[in-house]
Amino acid sequence: MESHLAKVFNGIVGGISLEVASVTIFVALLCFCILIGHLIGENRWTNESTVTLLLGLCAGFLTLVVTKWRNSRLLSFDEELFFIYLIPPIIFNAGFQVEKKQFFQNFSVIFLFGAAGTVISFCFISGGVYLLFKLMGVTSFGIRQFLAIGAIFSATDSVCTLQVLNQDETPLLYSLVFGEGVVNDATSIVLFNSVQKLDLESFGALSALQLLWTFLYLFITSTALGVATGLFSAFIMKKLYFGRFTWMPYPHDVYLNAFFPVFNFWGKNSLNLHSATREIAIMSLMAYFSYMLAQMCSLSGILAIFFCGVVMSHYTWHNVTEGSRTTTRHAFATASFVAETFIFLYVGMDALDIDKWKQSNGSVHTTLVVSGALLVLIMVGRAAFVFPLANFANCFRSRAKISFSQQFIIWWAGIIRGAVTIALSYEQFSAARQSSSDGAFLITNSIIVVLFTTMVFGSVTSPLIRANLFSNSSNVPASEMDPSSLEEAQVSFLENIGDDEDGSISMGFILMHPMSAIRYLWRRFDHRFMRPLFGGYGSTQ
């Protein structure tokens, strides 16, 4: 600790600390990226992720030159930073701002893609890499390594996908691709974790069942944890209502206006600011707590914080003061945006880490062949589940079938691999577990795949969607494109008759429209029991 101290105080008191200099340059780069991203915002062939990645590459190259080819990364961050600090705000914001109706309407399809789809992709990639390496004569990898490679390259990148897709323009695609990404995270963790623990001697049907059980357990407990934390925060906000003191029978604005009649534009409304500060702090800290608690219990933090965000936007958000509402919406979006920019910048710089490239002794030719093969396997593995599963799901959807062009975009956008892939491949192939030139070779390959997919697929997806949108919008009117309009009408009709007949709906309706019936029952439950307890839109304070 003393060495750290000395380092910091060098920066504060005496000379220039390397740590302080690195953070300063990194913050300056972040500002620069945001400005450039804003300036190229009009351009349809590039996006902010790609620009940030390229800037990261340039900065890494400059650092390499300045440090005389010793170091490219500026910050001696470890992957810890990524999982503990950068992922939570991104996923929480996604849950907080997600179009809840769309998400839950498509939940069955999302679950199918995220769970079954990831397993199919995992099998394809593992098998393909096994065959490829057998052909190439690489012998240092065992079954466990091949399975791990499958899990690593099955993890899609929710972050870049979020930047590429637009929730307002293509709500169905957004909820499908993003929702799949969230479930995919849980599946990847289970797969990767199971591969590490796998008893290769007695692998059979029982192991597969165990895997399924682990996945379901993980999914349900993580979700429950997130929902519970969100509900707890809503309960606290409702009971302690920070904007109102217990000895005040009227809303506090009445007192404020009586005691301090003049408020200027800057707002000397310190009581409001005081309570808003506490509300926002509690919301952020509770959300983060759900993520960390899930990680601590070896559950999926991503799932937990996602559902915590969903519950907070449904209940907690309605219990806080007006200022807190505006602030949470904007501040969470900003935190998420900065974290995304940070990740892309860092991945760009990390790609030029000279040690990794030195340790990997594959020739340029071999590297390109293996990266290309991995990319093809990812594409084939994704095609192998997107098209069959989408058509399977279409059989059960009376309206809003997933058209072929939409299936194509789902396939295309999900090929992007990101920071999770890099972090997992480090975990598997870095010095701690298996320090060989083959391991380093695989790490460099995963970097190439991530850079290539982010830049190429990330850039081309937006124009692709726009082309698809325009060709579609000329044929189908907006009201028909909205899958919810008809069902909505049914549910609102049900709600009207349901209240008259003491809330009972006929068995026939439940059998005919199971999803509508579930949604109707949930709404009634929400209205009668949840909102009085946890607050929410339209509830009485």
Q: How many CA atoms lie within 13 A of 196 on its CB side?
A: 11
Which 8-state DSSP code applies to residue 298?
T
Q: Which of 68, 139, 168, 504 binds a copy of itself (CB under 8 A)?
A: 168
Stretch that binds a copy of itself, among 5-13, 152-160, 474-482, 526-534 (CB under 8 A): 5-13
Q: Does 221 bind a copy of itself (CB under 8 A)?
A: no
Is the Cβ–Cβ distance between 375 and 449 less than 8 Å? yes
- Near a copy of itself by CB under 8 A, which window of 207-215, 279-287, 361-369, 437-445? 279-287
**Which residues lie closer than 8 Å to 340 by C-beta, 6 or more apart?**
49, 90, 159, 162, 163
User: Among 182, 280, 374, 409, which residue interacts with a copy of itself (rule: CB under 8 A)?
Assistant: 280
The answer to whether the beta carbons of residues 511 and 518 sit under 8 Å apart is no
Q: Binding residue for a copy of itself (CB under 8 A) from 203, 213, 245, 392?
A: 245
Give exposure, 489-510, as e/b (b: 16+ Cβ within 10 Å): eebeebeeebeeeeeebeeeee
Is 295 or 407 the residue whose CB approaches a copy of itself more closely?
295
Site for a copy of itself in 337-376 (CB under 8 A): 337-338, 341
Record the tokens describing residue 344, joined without a space: 């892309």
Q: What is the C-alpha to C-alpha distance for residues 325 and 279, in angstroms, rounded to an integer? A: 10
In this structure, is the dihedral angle defined by the CA atoms of residues 336, 342, 345 and 349, taken in order, positive or negative?
negative
Nearer to a copy of itself, 228 or 292 (CB): 292
Query: Among 123, 198, 331, 533, which residue interacts with a copy of itself (rule: CB under 8 A)?
Result: 331
Of 300-329, binders to a copy of itself (CB under 8 A) are: 301, 313, 323-324, 326-327, 329
How far, rounded to the nearest angstrom, does the alpha carbon of residue 418 sit from its chain's CA centroid?
Answer: 11
Residue 158 as a binder of a copy of itself (CB under 8 A): the answer is no
User: What does 198-258 look like in DSSP terms, one character per residue?
Assistant: --STT-SHHHHHHHHHHHHHHHHHHHHHHHHHHHHHHHHHHHH-TTS-TT-SS-HHHHHHH
What is the DSSP secondary-structure string of 184-198? HHHHHHHHHHHHHH-
* Among positions 20, 54, 62, 116, the unique one binding a copy of itself when judged by CB under 8 A: 20
Q: Select the span of 264-272, 303-311, 510-518, 525-533 touching a copy of itself (CB under 8 A).
A: 264-272
Q: Does 58 bind a copy of itself (CB under 8 A)?
A: no
Under the binding rule (CB under 8 A), the answer on residue 80 touching a copy of itself is yes
Does 432 bind a copy of itself (CB under 8 A)? Our answer is: yes
| Residue (166 or 484) nearer to a copy of itself, CB | 166
- Say whether residue 330 binds a copy of itself (CB under 8 A): yes
Q: Applying CB under 8 A, does 102 fall inside the site for a copy of itself? A: no
| Stretch near a copy of itself under the rule CB under 8 A, chosen from 26-34, 206-214, 479-487, 514-522 | 26-34
The answer to the question of residue 248 lying near a copy of itself (CB under 8 A) is: no
Q: Which stretch binds a copy of itself (CB under 8 A): 292-300, 343-351, 392-400, 459-467?
A: 292-300
CB of 341 to a copy of itself, least distance (A): 8
How far apart (Å, rounded) are the C-alpha atoms in residues 476 and 533?
Answer: 43
